[in-house]
């Protein structure tokens, strides 16, 4: 993901979907983002790392969007860690 080009919640959702090769049935909203991040069934088992350089740019440009996307990411990381199998790790590099 390129954090310097993400200016809205919608762009962040689309960038995450592209980075993790979400399936075509992905719903392109926060609920669907959480569902997909905690499923990852189209990917092999193991750890999947999402690297988001300059992630703070979203919070600067769209504070509410940044807060909501980051909350979904944090919740998904916790849930996949609990479930095992396909575990999501998010690295925010600012």
Domain CATH number, residue 36: 3.30.370.10
Q: Which of 15, 17, 58 is nearest to 35 (CA)?
A: 17
Number of domains in the chain: 1
Statement: residue 6 has pLDDT above 90: yes
Domain that holds residue 56: 3-93
pTM score > 0.75 for this model? Answer: yes
Write out pLDDT tens, residues 22-62. 999 999 999 999 999 999 999 999 999 999 999 999 999 99
């Amino acid at each position: 993901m390129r954090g310097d080009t993400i200016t809205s919640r919608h762009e962040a959702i689309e960038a995450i979907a592209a980075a993790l090769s979400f399936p075509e049935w992905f719903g392109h909203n926060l609920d669907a983002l959480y569902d997909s991040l905690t499923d990852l069934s189209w990917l092999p088992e193991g750890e999947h790392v999402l690297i988001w350089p300059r992630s703070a740019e979203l919070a600067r440009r769209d504070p509410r969007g940044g807060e909501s996307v980051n909350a979904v990411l944090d919740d998904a990381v916790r849930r996949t860690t609990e479930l095992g199998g396909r575990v999501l790790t998010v690295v925010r590099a600012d």
